[in-house]
Amino acid sequence: MNKARRALAALLAPGIVTLLLTGCTPPPDEDHYAIAVGSNKDFAGLELRSIFIVTSAENEPGRILGTIFNKTAENMDLVIGDRDDELPLNIPAGGKVEFQDVPTVLSSTEARPGARTDLTVKAQGDTTSFDVAVLDGTLEQYAPYVPK
């Protein structure tokens, strides 16, 4: 009986070790994305990444944060905004605009912090909307961006 258990253990050991080791790493073809507060949208050759708004309160000015990447070979003019603001931007060919470096402030935010609201983007004659988070300065990394 003891001999049978040892033989079974010897047969199973490599499989158990392999299962434990491979269970710790994801499959090589699986996509992984960083967890981010903001919303993502691909539109007209642009990649909008981690887009959200910071504000002190509902109906107060709100600053857009996140990054827009231009994946085209041409400079891209776009307009981003909400129902009462349209803010023009130029994204260089193959480049990006990081909103923490380019203050883009809406005159009023339609939703309170903790809620979500829609932003509209217009580029190359097309328009799209997407849902974004509205945050306040409670988290210290966003406090410097809350419009005064």
CATH number at residue 137: 2.60.40.1890
Could you tell me if residue 8 is inside a domain? no
**For 14-50, how does the pLDDT look when each residue is reduced to its tens digit (9 = 90+)?**
666 555 555 555 555 444 455 568 999 999 999 999 9
pLDDT score at 71 = 96
pLDDT score at 55 = 97
**Beta 76-81 vs 62-70: how paired, if at all?**
unpaired
Could you tell me if residue 26 is inside a domain? no
pTM of the model: 0.75
Could you tell me if residue 107 is inside a domain? yes
Total domains in the chain come to 1
Q: Which domain holds residue 88?
A: 39-145
Contacts of 62 (CB under 8 A, 6+ apart): 53, 54, 55, 105, 106, 108, 109, 134, 147
Give dist(CA 110, CA 121) in Å, integer: 16
Could you tell me if residue 27 is inside a domain? no
pLDDT score at 148 = 87
Flag residues of the chain having pLDDT under 50: 29-32
